[in-house]
Amino acid sequence: MNIRRNFLLLTFLLLSAIMLHAQKHPGRPEIEKDTIPEQDSIEYELIVIDPGYETFLATQKPASFFTQVYYETWNYRYVIEWNMRHDNPIAYGDMYETKIDYDPKTDYGLDLNYRLYYYFRFFEEKNGISLVAGHH
């Protein structure tokens, strides 16, 4: 599947995650949210539909290798760069079709931040580009 479509899916999922009552759209992915009454919490799930991504993710360090703050910090930097490139298609092309709404104040959890972080890394490796200067 095309990397742009995968990121479109990823972006839609993040946008859906911040809405408490997202409408159901046939054929579109969605984030499942479970509110647990005793804990009054919301769980987020990031789904990327690209067999290459899951294979790539399986070769990476486990989520617990870095802290959630580490992933959040990098994800925020990646999102800022991604959105800047999205807003400048003449300079960066059409690889960045969809703007990402990532709120650094929202606790998406370790797993979602881990998966998003490695999606950016996967995107970089697959396309031979670096989104954030100075990152390995």
Give the DSSP letter of residue 95: S
Quick check: is 36 in a domain? Answer: yes
Quick check: is 132 in a domain? Answer: no
Count of domains forming the chain: 1
Q: What domain range is 78 assigned to?
A: 3-127
Quick check: is 136 in a domain? Answer: no
Beta-carbon contacts of 61 under 8 Å, excluding residues fewer than 6 positions away, are none
What tens digit of pLDDT does each residue of 34-76 get? 555 555 577 777 777 778 999 999 999 999 999 999 999 999 9
pLDDT at 4 over 80: no
